[in-house]
């Protein structure tokens, strides 16, 4: 690579890291719709996946990641307001759902030789906690996840095409022996019914599990691949998962 190509790749990598950092900040605040509008491709074939499954296109992604979260925020507000009247002052109710805090560590980025795409892999130690809940109980868990992201250059701006989240480990905060402590189940409310519970399930395009967490009997599984130098997006693998737990690398 000549000096000009090195500068272009360094600038692209920096922009992709910025997008990932903004994702973490938006996710912590529950600002999902704005994230999709600002940092995701305009294409309809974008994909987002987690252990539980993959959202297969933009419509599926918006329904699960934005619409579902905003509906949950309304439900949670209605439960909290009689117990904590101060939540009336909250302007954006999405902040009442939870705080999902992720740190970005061990970044590995590769920008395609043609300059039109990039790949990044991060470790993301973090925690999820709720400061308010109807049970008036502390609630929190920690996790170690990995983010594998496909970025593309679209209208002069680096945006997500695919984002793969793999949770390797998770546990309840303050558990004395976390591998053996199950997450506490919330007591059912008086208005709880099975039809309402079923309607709140995330309707992913490809059901999981797509990645297994650490256990004493964990089966061999494909990891999010470490980015390697490549020329064009078409010649290499994607972080979208289409084949279940055993991800196919492609040629």
User: Contact, 55 vs 49, CB < 8 A?
Assistant: yes
Q: Which CATH number fits domain 3-235: 1.10.10.10, 3.10.450.50, 3.30.70.260, 3.10.560.10?
A: 3.10.450.50
pTM of the predicted structure, to 2 decimals: 0.84
Q: How far is CA 29 from CA 12, 100, 108, in A?
A: 26, 8, 26
Q: How far apart are CA 94 and CA 99, in angstroms?
A: 10
Q: Is the pLDDT of residue 250 over 90?
A: no
pLDDT above 70 coverage of the chain, percent = 84
pLDDT digits (tens, 9 = 90+) for 26-61: 998 889 999 999 999 999 999 999 999 999 999 999
Q: How far apart are CA 11 and CA 111, in angstroms?
A: 10
Residue ranges of domains in the chain? 3-235
Mean residue pLDDT of the chain comes to 84
Q: Read off the pLDDT band of 186 (50, 70, 90).
A: very low
Q: How far apart are CA 28 and CA 35, in angstroms?
A: 11
User: Contact, 46 vs 58, CB < 8 A?
Assistant: yes
pLDDT digits (tens, 9 = 90+) for 70-115: 998 999 899 999 999 999 998 888 888 888 899 999 999 999 999 9
- Mean pLDDT score, 8-14: 96
pLDDT attached to residue 137:
78
């Amino acid at each position: 690579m000549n000096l000009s190509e090195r500068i272009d790749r360094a600038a692209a990598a920096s922009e992709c890291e910025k997008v990932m950092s903004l994702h973490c900040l938006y996710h912590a605040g529950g600002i999902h719709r704005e994230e999709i509008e600002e940092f995701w491709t305009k294409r309809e074939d974008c994909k987002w996946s987690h252990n539980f499954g993959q959202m297969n296109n933009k419509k599926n992604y918006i329904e699960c990641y934005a619409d579902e979260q905003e509906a949950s925020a309304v439900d949670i507000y209605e439960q909290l307001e009689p117990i904590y009247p101060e939540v009336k002052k909250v302007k954006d109710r999405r902040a009442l759902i939870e705080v999902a805090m992720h740190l970005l560590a061990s970044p590995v980025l590769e920008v395609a030789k043609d300059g039109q795409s990039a790949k990044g892999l991060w470790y993301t130690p973090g925690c999820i906690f709720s400061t308010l809940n109807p049970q008036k109980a502390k609630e929190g868990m920690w996790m170690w996840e990995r983010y594998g992201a496909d970025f593309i250059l679209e209208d002069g701006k680096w945006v997500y095409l695919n984002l793969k989240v793999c949770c390797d480990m998770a546990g309840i905060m303050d558990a004395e022996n976390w591998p053996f402590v199950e997450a506490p189940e919330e007591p059912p409310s008086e208005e709880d019914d099975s039809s309402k519970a079923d309607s709140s399930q995330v309707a992913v395009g490809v059901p999981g599990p797509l990645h297994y967490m650490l256990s004493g009997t964990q089966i061999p599984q494909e990891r999010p691949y470490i980015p390697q130098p490549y020329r064009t997006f078409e010649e290499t693998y994607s972080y979208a998962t289409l084949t279940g737990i055993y991800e196919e690398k492609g040629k």
